[in-house]
Amino acid sequence: MVDDVLDRTIAPGYSSLGFAFRSRLWPDDDPPPDALVGATTVVTGANSGIGKAIAGSLAQLGATVVMAVRDEERGESARRELLAGQPDADLVVERCDVSGRAEVRDFVARIAARTPRIDAIVHNAGVMPPTRSQTRDGHELTLATHVLGPILMTELARPLLAAATSSRVVFMSSGGMYTQPLPRADPEYRLGRYRAATAYARTKRIQVALTPVLGERWSEDGCVVATMHPGWADTPGLAQSLPRFRTMTRAFLRNADQAADTAVWLTATSPPPPSGLFWHDRRSRPTHYRQATRFTEAQRDEVWRYCASAIGVTP
Ligand SMILES: NC(=O)c1ccc[n+]([C@@H]2O[C@H](COP(=O)([O-])OP(=O)(O)OC[C@H]3O[C@@H](n4cnc5c(N)ncnc54)[C@H](OP(=O)(O)O)[C@@H]3O)[C@@H](O)[C@H]2O)c1
């Protein structure tokens, strides 16, 4: 019950205090130290913040981790930093701008040429651009980064995920998505005044809304799909996007490892968690706290059809 209260009151639950309280609830629930030996995992945006922490923890559990980054130099530097603490970690840096269709296709082709199987993809890469911008493919940047690129990457990797015995796909959403309804009439944020936090939260809402649809779709490949939010963590991304918020809350922010915990657990826990749910601190959580954000199945399917057509897959 205290866990639920923490969730509803937001600030304490999302902070390091919430993590400290909840982690006492799962003393025996950590995946075993060899949980991912032999597994190949992909983490996007793995050169910084939460993604880097996820990469380090998955490697610690024995996985080969493909660090998918848009800047190879930053990726190599993150890899070196992780190796300094874990010299045996199996970390591979691969370039991939997840917001670009061609880049994502090229990335999956390179991975497929190297490995017959992917056990998990953690779609962690995230952005909050201050002004509205579009990718070369003509899509609004947060939509392309948080939704279109990750779905395309997973679609292309389906044969590789199907080759694993218990594959997982994890989307890193945000508690900010609770503030926004599904932008079904304007998924590309073409209308109205652009606000960075709104664009961010809308596309994080789309991730959560589509999770049951994708869970069902990719269940054919034996793949579990989960979306999660990490709470509030002190990362380079937060410092850049929300500097004032960071200054005010710094003493209570999670560190990147605490924010990464649920993604690592969802990837490595056995038996696999149920598919299609939204998670925070190793528990599934409600997807709405306000009536105003609710949507019908038909409205959700409309957004799904838009996204599928944008990346060229049959819904
Ligand atoms: N920190 C928080 O409190 C918080 C709260 C809720 C949700 N989240 C989510 O957690 C995830 C990680 O955020 P963070 O706080 O760790 O921020 P971060 O330090 O800025 O990390 C974001 C990562 O995503 C990468 N990235 C951005 N666009 C990309 C693209 N098109 N292709 C490939 N990589 C790309 C960045 O690469 P570059 O270094 O090249 O920019 C960076 O490595 C994000 O999805 C964020 O929305 C964070």
Q: Report pLDDT digits (tens) over 22-79.
A: 999 888 899 999 999 999 999 999 999 999 999 999 999 999 999 999 999 999 999 9
Q: Which residue has the tokens 């980054």?
A: 69
196-237: pLDDT as tens digits: 999 999 999 999 999 999 999 999 999 999 999 999 999 999
Residue 18 lies in a domain: no
Q: What is the largest CA-CA distance in the chain?
A: 51
On the 0-12 / 13-18 / 19+ scale of CB atoms within 10 A, 134 is middle
**Cα–Cα dist 111/114, whole Å:** 5
The CA 298 to ligand 1 mean position distance, Å, reads 31
Q: Which residue has the tokens 């779709």?
A: 217
The CA 47 to ligand 1 mean position distance, Å, reads 9
- Give the total number of structural domains in the chain: 1
Residue 2 has pLDDT above 80, yes or no: no
Q: How does residue 9 score in pLDDT terms, banded at 50, 70 and 90?
A: low
The CA 1 to ligand 1 mean position distance, Å, reads 31
DSSP, res 134? B
What is the distance in angstroms between the CA of the first residue and the CA of the last residue of the chain?
39
Residue 102 lies in a domain: yes
Annotation marks residue 178 as catalytic: no
What pLDDT shows up at residue 305?
Answer: 98
What is the three-class DSSP state of 274? coil
Determine phi and psi for 15, rounding to 5 degrees. Answer: -85, 180
Residue 84 lies in a domain: yes
Q: Which residues line ligand 1 (CB under 6 A)?
A: 44-45, 47-51, 69-71, 74, 96-99, 124-127, 145, 172, 174, 229-230, 232-233, 235-238
Residue 25 lies in a domain: no
Residue 42 lies in a domain: yes
Residue 267 lies in a domain: yes
pTM flag (> 0.85): yes
Query: For position 64, which CATH number holds?
Result: 3.40.50.720
Q: How does residue 308 score in pLDDT terms, banded at 50, 70 and 90?
A: very high
Residue 4 lies in a domain: no
Atom number, ligand 1, closest to the C-alpha of residue 70 = 33
Residue 270 has pLDDT above 90, yes or no: yes
Range of the domain at 280: 38-311
- Identify the residue with better confidence: 10 or 91: 91
Share of the chain above pLDDT 90, in %: 95
Distance of CA 141 to the CA centre of its chain: 16
Atom number, ligand 1, closest to the C-alpha of residue 253 = 3
